[in-house]
């Protein structure tokens, strides 16, 4: 089961990363600032995959304790934790060379929600094996 969970973690992380990169491009094109030097493609992909891998490990640990109740509890926890992390973009201190730091939360906050969205989207495909 852990292998399947880790695979789900990697795939959903990559999907979230791709969604974030597309969103960054659209954001930069429409608002003129994509913070591409602060949030690089490597950081986006690395962060997204790391997030969903931690989620996979969390799911595995929870399933040992909660058995059949794992799914609803995990989903609730993942959603809450993702929501809590949106505080980080508001508190982020950017380099002084960045002209409009006030545009940063608008870019980074959706990126914090994409991993959970990707996980919830792909999880049904792994439902039988996980």
Question: Which residues are at the interface with other proteins (CB under 8 A)?
Answer: 90-96, 98-105
**Least distance between other proteins and beta carbon 108 (Å):** 11
Closest alpha carbon to 47 in 77, 24, 14: 14
**Least distance between other proteins and beta carbon 36 (Å):** 17
Nearer to other proteins, 80 or 94 (CB): 94
The residue written with tokens 């991993």 in the block is 115
**Least distance between other proteins and beta carbon 90 (Å):** 6
Q: Would you say 14 and 42 are in contact if contact means Cβ atoms under 8 Å apart?
A: no
H or E element, residue 48: helix 41-66
Token digits of residue 3? 């292998």
Distance, CA of 57 to CA of 37 (rounded, Å): 31
Nearer to other proteins, 104 or 114 (CB): 104
Residues 6 or more apart whose Cβ sits within 8 Å of residue 39: 24, 107, 108, 111
Nearer to other proteins, 95 or 124 (CB): 95
Nearer to other proteins, 102 or 128 (CB): 102
**Least distance between other proteins and beta carbon 99 (Å):** 8
């Amino acid at each position: 089961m852990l292998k399947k969970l880790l695979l789900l973690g990697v795939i959903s992380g990559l999907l979230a990363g791709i969604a974030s990169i597309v969103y960054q491009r659209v954001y930069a094109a429409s608002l003129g600032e994509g913070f591409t030097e602060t949030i690089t493609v490597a950081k986006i992909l690395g962060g997204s995959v790391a997030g969903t891998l931690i989620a996979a490990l969390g799911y595995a640990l929870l399933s040992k304790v909660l058995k059949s109740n794992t799914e609803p509890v995990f989903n609730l926890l993942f959603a809450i934790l993702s929501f809590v992390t949106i505080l980080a973009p508001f508190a982020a201190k950017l380099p002084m060379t960045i002209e409009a730091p006030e545009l940063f939360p608008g870019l980074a906050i959706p990126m914090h929600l994409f991993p959970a969205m990707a996980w919830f989207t792909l999880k049904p495909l792994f439902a039988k094996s996980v």
